[in-house]
Amino acid sequence: MPEINIDRSLKFIDGTQRVLDENSTLEKTKDNLKSIGVTRIASITDLDRLGIPVFSSIRPSAADGAISVYSGKGNTETQARISSMMEGFERCLAERSGMNENVEDDIKSIHVIESYSNLTIENNVVDPQSLLIAESYGPKALIEWIQGWDLLKNEEIFVPANSVYHPYDAPGRTLKLFRSNTNGLASGNSIEEAIFHGLLEVIERDALSIAEFNRNPGKEIILTEEDGENYEILRKFIDNEVDIKLWALPHDTEITTVVATTDDARLKDAALLVMGAGAHLKPEIAVRRALTEAAQSRVVQIHGAREDTEREKFVREIGYDRIKRMNKYWYEDGEKISISEMKDLSNTTPAESIDVIIEQLKKVTDSAVVVDLSRESVAVPVIRVVIPTFEMYTLDRERVGKRAKSGPRKKMAPQDRPWRKGRRK
């Protein structure tokens, strides 16, 4: 894979963390939707009473095992529309050549089928065990690999293709290590913007996994009128009888990850006990992302069109009261903190922002790998970030690492466990 050279001349637009404004981004990307098979974009905001913009993009040609309805959120309709479009690009370009009905050209990265022990003789290779695989494997087992770029070491490195493509089917006699997912997939106006947001997503999922595994949400964020736009979004929940709490999750970096948890006090519907999360160098943006994603989660549950929302039947069988007791740590009062007390690490350029994240990651891990999934036929950069040892519990309950297990864990009361009802005597 060619070296990823970060353009240090790019700057964020004043007051944003994007290199282009909303209208320019929309104009740049909308003409490429046909090339990835997106046939329709629609507002689904009015399905919910909150009025926070949520859009969906429809891609009927999605590969088997992938979803075909992509959701996007924002504080404006343009933001939500762009968000749903960008997820379409990410999902499409995460499909490998041959499985992808819309894009024929391949990524530029080298693909290799080899055992871990043989590949490490002359190459830098990510140890599959560091990706928290649920089952053991032999070092002589054949694995499909893709070459990426390690941002921490500035060198080429091979990662399992299983951690890059989604959906993933192992070719030939190669080993499938785990269920594939979309963690770390990101797009942007530039590859620098995509890398920045891909890194943040992996950090967000890591922090959320550790919080969920240990049942420790961190500190409760309190918003006031001085928080401006974020407070206005929060009021849309409260004024519509949706209880909401904001949490600053504990993490072993100083990067802010925020979770918004909601409870519809009017409907008391188990399926609407949902959350949103956001990570960012600027705490205000992390809060905004969590709030708007919580609104998106509500609409997605109400809409019921996405193929990955099968939780509705499960949680309604368990019931509202038990689901809330199972997750009561998200709804109890916590130690209070304001946004002004949270550390702002933001910068004015994508390169400087990536530098900050890299320095934070060096405290925790030895590698942060980027695989460029962009195609010449699609004018929107897409990448996948893979960070070894970072937790996956929130996506895959079988993949739990040492960092999650090392924290103090609050146990769930026996009466609150969802499997208690059917337990054998």
C-alpha–C-alpha distance, residues 317 and 338, integer Å: 37
* pLDDT confidence of residue 233: 98
* pTM score over 0.85: yes
Q: Confirm whether 22-104 and 215-341 share one CATH topology.
A: yes
Ordered by start, the domain boundaries in the chain are: 22-104, 106-180+365-397, 215-341
Closest CA to 350 of 130, 123, 188, 163: 188
Give the span between the Cα atoms of 153 and 92, in whole angstroms: 29
> What are the DSSP calls for 386-419, one per residue?
E-TT---TTT-TT---HHHHTS--PPPPGGG-TT
Tokens of residue 190, six digits: 């530039």
Fold of 22-104: Double Stranded RNA Binding Domain (3.30.160)
Within a 10 A sphere around the Cβ of 276, how many other Cβ atoms?
A: 22
Q: What is the pLDDT along the chain (425 residues), one digit of tens a residue?
A: 678 999 999 999 987 888 999 999 999 899 999 999 999 999 999 999 999 999 999 999 999 999 999 999 999 999 999 999 999 999 999 999 999 999 999 999 999 999 999 999 999 999 999 999 988 888 789 999 999 999 999 999 999 999 999 999 999 999 999 999 999 999 999 999 999 999 999 999 999 999 999 999 999 999 999 999 999 999 999 999 999 999 999 999 999 999 999 999 999 999 999 999 999 999 999 999 999 999 999 999 998 866 565 666 778 788 999 999 999 999 999 999 999 999 999 999 999 999 999 999 999 999 999 999 999 999 999 999 999 999 999 999 999 999 999 988 877 777 666 655 444 33
Which CATH number is correct for 215-341, 3.30.1330.10, 3.40.50.300, 3.30.160.660, 3.30.365.10?
Answer: 3.30.160.660
